[in-house]
């Protein structure tokens, strides 16, 4: 199983960012999940137009199943903009169970403020 963290970039000049979502790769299946709680935090840290753009992109990744391959994740890692950043894919030695996917989400996104 592999994962990548989706960050909202708050102040790019000092690389300040907030983890808001996670991409989990389980073989051929790729899922994207984000935290509404973290999105509310982002809303208070960026301008309204930045927040709307960020939310639109994030919801599109989830609803439209935009990420269909690890090549897309690698592209997002290299070509993120000043508002959205995606970490490189990391392999983790865990069985791809729902419990372990939930653990990843809680450990890297939801449980962090």
**pLDDT value at residue 28:** 84
Span 53-90, pLDDT tens digits: 888 888 888 876 668 788 888 888 887 677 889 999 99
Query: CB-based contacts of 93: which residues, under 8 Å, 6+ apart?
Result: none
Residue 17 has pLDDT above 60, yes or no: yes
Range 13-23 average pLDDT: 90
**pLDDT value at residue 113:** 45
Residue 112 has pLDDT above 80, yes or no: no
User: Average pLDDT of the chain?
Assistant: 87
**In the structure, what pLDDT confidence band is assigned to residue 39 with cuts at 50, 70 and 90?**
very high
CB atoms within 10 A of CB 62: 14
From first CA to last CA, the distance across the chain in angstroms is 25
Q: Residue ranges per domain, the chain? A: 2-110
Residue 20 has pLDDT above 80, yes or no: yes
Residue spans of beta strands (DSSP E) within 12-87 = 16-26, 29-34, 84-86
**pLDDT value at residue 7:** 93
User: pTM for this one?
Assistant: 0.87
**In the structure, what pLDDT confidence band is assigned to residue 37 with cuts at 50, 70 and 90?**
very high
**pLDDT value at residue 60:** 82
């Amino acid at each position: 199983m592999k994962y990548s963290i989706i960050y909202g970039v708050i102040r790019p000049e000092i690389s300040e960012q907030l983890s808001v979502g996670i991409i989990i790769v389980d073989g051929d299946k790729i899922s994207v999940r984000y935290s509404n709680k973290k999105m509310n935090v982002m809303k208070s840290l960026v301008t309204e137009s930045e927040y709307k753009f960020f939310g639109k992109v994030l919801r599109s990744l989830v609803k439209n199943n935009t990420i269909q391959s690890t090549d897309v994740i690698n592209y997002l890692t290299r070509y993120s903009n000043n508002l959205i950043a995606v970490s490189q894919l990391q392999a983790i030695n865990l069985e791809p169970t729902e419990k372990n996917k939930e653990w990843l989400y809680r450990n890297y996104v939801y449980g962090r403020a």
